Amino acid sequence: PSSLAAAPPAAEKVDGFPRRSMRRARQRRSHSSSQFRYQSSQIELTALPLLKDAPVAELHDLFCKKLQQCCVLFDFLDCVADLKGKEVKRAALNELVESVATGRGVLIEPLYPEAIKMISVNIFRTLPPSENPEFDPEEDEPTLEASWPHLQLVYEFFLRFLESPDFQPSMAKRYVDQKFVLQLLELFDSEDPREREYLKTILHRVYGKLLGLRAYIRKQINNIFLRFIYETERFNGVAELLEILGSIINGFALPLKSEHKQFLVRVLIPLHTAKSLSIFHAQLAYCVVQFMEKDATVTEYIIRGLLKYWPKTCTQKEVMFLGEMEEILDVIEPSQFVRVQEALFKQIAACVASPHFQVAERALYFWNNEYILSLIEENCQVILPLVFGTLYRVSKEHWNQTIVSLIYNVLKTFMEMNSKLFDDLTASYKVEKQKELKRERERAELWRSLDEQQERRLRSLMEASRNQKNLQERPGPAQPEPAPGGNSAT
């Protein structure tokens, strides 16, 4: 029976090519919806009385029945199937959302398990595989969830449920447990940005209301990021999770726990190495800056970590790193700046010398920031010698006139800060340049001398070879002929 079930219908055998294309089309369509266990073929929904018309004595019972009714799932790939049932469920979900939002006192203890069950049945499912294995969130359109008309209302109900004044965390924690949270976090891999937006808000509410789950949520987010960095490099919800973390970091108590510092060093900083950094860089930079504002002592770890992972070949990422570094320097403490200024400005000087004009331009914009400029002025004796040579050389050699103009402005600023040091560096640079030119001339002279020696040696070898050849070709002295008897004449 199993082999018969696996065989294609006779019609498909007769006209194989069109049928195969139809099967492929159905397979592609199936990817636009998650893998639910559809029940609508066995259950027919009928509309229940409206909640707003129900007597107070019957309200909770009717609310519970509507929750149970909303546990029925429908196949949204078939647009015309179960239209009546889909509409009944949509209307029931709308009623539930409105009832919880208006706060009519419906959230009593017996309804908590029913509400969480309805939410779990609807939102927890196997996410479809990506239609495009090389899916690029920046370039490609995401796969939208086909069942969104119902799914959105379920998420809206869950959100209103958590935000309701009647919500009791002590009752909810029995049902919104670690398993529930883990399944919720797995949904962040959904390609549908609408779903991830709801999940972000809901997880933030869960974190705020259910205090006992906070450490577990942080741990699981940590695991997701580690898996993303070191294994898969694919997860759709990194930006949303980082946005939640930005709020969480803002609420950390001082002094920071060691686990929080480890999360910064082992997770947030290595996240900068991701190929898809541009998708979540804004949220990541916000988290990093939040850590600095919480505890200035982590500044050196952050800046040295960024310098360690500084991009070598991707100019787009290099521009992002420079932007983040400016955000960091905007809030850095002067005492912390002194600890990293040498390593930092060596890298900035390298960026100024970049042949890619956007990288050089972004680095030179640091001198337009008043706070950074004040830090540079305070430490001019250290910073100017680090960057002067690069600035002077690039001002003479860079192909882009805009960069040359910006460098002249920076040099002018340095000259106004400390004219004596600037003049000393200019003089020493010119002396060093003369020495370099002299070394170049000496090197050229040495190579010319070596070339002449080689040429003379080759000439002498060729002349010796000709002489040897002439000696071999010259005829030797005549030999006497032997006597007829075979004996030589005496």
291 within 8 A of 268, measured Cβ to Cβ:
yes
- The percent of residues above 70 in pLDDT, for the chain, comes to 86
Asked, for residue 55, whether it belongs to a domain, the answer is: no
Q: Place 28 in a pLDDT band, splitting at 50, 70 and 90.
A: very low
143 within 8 A of 80, measured Cβ to Cβ:
no
- Kindly report the number of other CB atoms within 10 A of residue 185's CB atom: 18
pLDDT tens sequence across 369-404:
999 999 999 999 999 999 999 999 999 988 999 999
Q: Place 54 in a pLDDT band, splitting at 50, 70 and 90.
A: confident
Give the torsion through C-alpha atoms of 287, 289, 290, 292, to 10 deg: 130
| The total number of structural domains that make up the chain | 2
Asked, for residue 421, whether it belongs to a domain, the answer is: yes
- Kindly report the number of other CB atoms within 10 A of residue 106's CB atom: 19
Token pair recorded at residue 132: 């495009």
Residue 189, CA atoms < 13 Å, CB-side half-sphere:
21
Asked, for residue 359, whether it belongs to a domain, the answer is: yes
Specify which of 2-6, 138-142, 462-466 reaches the highest per-range mean pLDDT. Answer: 462-466
C-alpha–C-alpha distance, residues 237 and 193, integer Å: 9
C-alpha–C-alpha distance, residues 321 and 347, integer Å: 11
Average pLDDT over residues 45-72: 83
Which residues are CB-contacts of 46 (< 8 A; sequence separation ≥ 6)? 88
Average pLDDT over residues 321-344: 96
Q: Quick check: 36 pLDDT over 70?
A: no
CA 375 to mean position of chain CA atoms: 30
Q: Quick check: 138 pLDDT over 90?
A: no
Asked, for residue 326, whether it belongs to a domain, the answer is: no
38 within 8 A of 81, measured Cβ to Cβ:
no
Q: Quick check: 104 pLDDT over 70?
A: no
Asked, for residue 255, whether it belongs to a domain, the answer is: no
Residue bearing the bigger pLDDT, 162 or 23: 162
pLDDT tens sequence across 303-327:
999 999 999 999 999 999 999 999 9
Is the pTM value of this prediction over 0.85? no
C-alpha–C-alpha distance, residues 73 and 111, integer Å: 20
Token pair recorded at residue 264: 């910064």
C-alpha–C-alpha distance, residues 146 and 73, integer Å: 13
Asked, for residue 434, whether it belongs to a domain, the answer is: yes
Residue type, 140: D
* Full domain range(s) for residue 354: 335-450
Residue type, 91: A
C-alpha–C-alpha distance, residues 370 and 388, integer Å: 20
C-alpha–C-alpha distance, residues 285 and 294, integer Å: 14
Local structure of 35: helix, strand or coil: strand
407 within 8 A of 394, measured Cβ to Cβ:
yes
DSSP-assigned beta bridge partners for residue 35: 126
Angle at 186 between CA 183 and CA 191, to 5 degrees: 135
Angle at 387 between CA 383 and CA 392, to 5 degrees: 140
Q: Quick check: 21 pLDDT over 60?
A: no
Burial of 194 (0-12, 13-18, 19+ CB in 10 A): middle
C-alpha–C-alpha distance, residues 269 and 36, integer Å: 38
C-alpha–C-alpha distance, residues 302 and 285, integer Å: 11
C-alpha–C-alpha distance, residues 166 and 142, integer Å: 37
Asked, for residue 212, whether it belongs to a domain, the answer is: no
Asked, for residue 393, whether it belongs to a domain, the answer is: yes
State the angle between helix axes of 83-102 and 148-163 in degrees (0 to 180), rounded to the nearest 10: 20
